Amino acid sequence: MKIKNAFLSLMILGLSLSCTNDDDGGEAPLGAYENGILVSNEGPFSNGSGTVTFISADLSVVDPAIYKNTNGEDLGNVVQSIGFAEDEAFVIANVSNKINVVNRYTFEKIASIEEGLNNPRYFVAVNGKGYVTNWGDTADETDDFVAIINLQNYTVEGSISVALGPEAILAHNNTVYVAHQGAWGQNNKVSVINTDSNEVVKSITVGDVPNSMQLDASGNLWVLASGKPSYTNDETAGVLSKINTTTNEVDSNYEFNTTEHPGLLQMEGSTLYYYMGGSVYHQNVSATSLSKEVVLSEVGFYTMAVSEGRLYGTDAGDYASNGTLTVYDLSTKLAVETLDVGIIPGGVYFN
């Protein structure tokens, strides 16, 4: 009897310690790829598959192909971007016309969306739906659209016809903003979509070839346009536009010189960052003119992202072999680490 009671006491003590450890240790991790950086790699254009690289937050672990390692299959040709809806990630393969839906923390496949897409580009979730920009047939300037994704059954349940070359997409409250870069041509519009009616309610004219957008803490939409390049024989200046999202009117335009073509707009706090001509510049949202203050010089980025005082810039190298991701400390302006990633690293995301 004493042995039985002692055994029971030990079991109770063990359960008590287990519960205490759970309480003290917090929640269990959501998956192997929680708390780190995801890099989408386009992969070779004509054949093969793109990949997604995971890098731990402390930069000590690099897993080069987490989707294939987890699911035993390829993502598809030209991994254009990754979008998120709560615990899910939507990985867009542009040439394959496919979106693979995965758990963003384990990267286990949930579904594939392959119908109702045509040259898909970027994804955003808002008002219980997913919205994906599509170029359509690049030989047809009238068939561009935004696909509406049902987030319960992962199907395209509708589409919204839009102007040529929808690219970057961003949500604010129940409104979706789409920057029309112009596909293989050029455009200068931002479409405003009401997600209650799924209709374009306004088209805002900005600079030529709008390539990236950010929202500030006051709800202003900042749109960076690179301008038409010189090879068009109609070169135009880059423009940074500030749009009031209450009125959906342009409050201010900040013009660059004709030969200056900025891109890759990022934001942290009240500071905007952009890349131009081998340098990164920053600008406070309260500034009344372009400051053109250099943060980093003599760099060559394919894409970049800013988070928690660090800048993450990718280099596509020769576009045929693995590229790199370099992490910079923005306070010291020094490189912290350079890591190998996949072929043509085109997106940096924080998990």
Q: Which residue type does 89 have?
A: A
CB 263 within 8 A of CB 239: no
In this predicted structure, what is the pLDDT of residue 29? Answer: 78
CB 160 within 8 A of CB 145: yes
Per-residue pLDDT of the chain (351 residues; tens, 9 = 90+): 333 343 333 333 343 434 434 445 567 778 999 999 999 999 998 789 999 999 999 999 999 999 999 999 999 999 999 999 999 999 999 999 999 999 999 999 999 999 999 999 999 999 999 999 999 998 899 999 999 999 999 999 999 999 999 999 999 999 999 999 999 999 999 999 999 999 999 999 999 999 999 999 999 999 999 999 999 999 999 999 999 999 999 999 999 999 999 999 999 999 999 999 999 999 999 999 998 999 999 999 999 999 999 999 999 999 999 999 999 999 999 999 999 999 999 999 999
What are the DSSP calls for 221-261, one per residue?
EEEEE----GGGT-----EEEEEETTTTEEEEEEE--TT--
In this predicted structure, what is the pLDDT of residue 46? Answer: 78
Sorted by sequence, the CB contacts under 8 Å of residue 86 that are 6+ apart come out as 125
Per-position b or e across 266-294, b if 16+ CB within 10 A of its CB = bbbeebbbbbbeeebbbbebeeeebeeee
Q: Domain 34-303 belongs to what topology?
A: Methylamine Dehydrogenase; Chain H (2.130.10)
Q: Residue 206: name the closest of 176, 177, 248, 241 by CA.
A: 241
In this predicted structure, what is the pLDDT of residue 12? Answer: 37
CB 313 within 8 A of CB 27: no
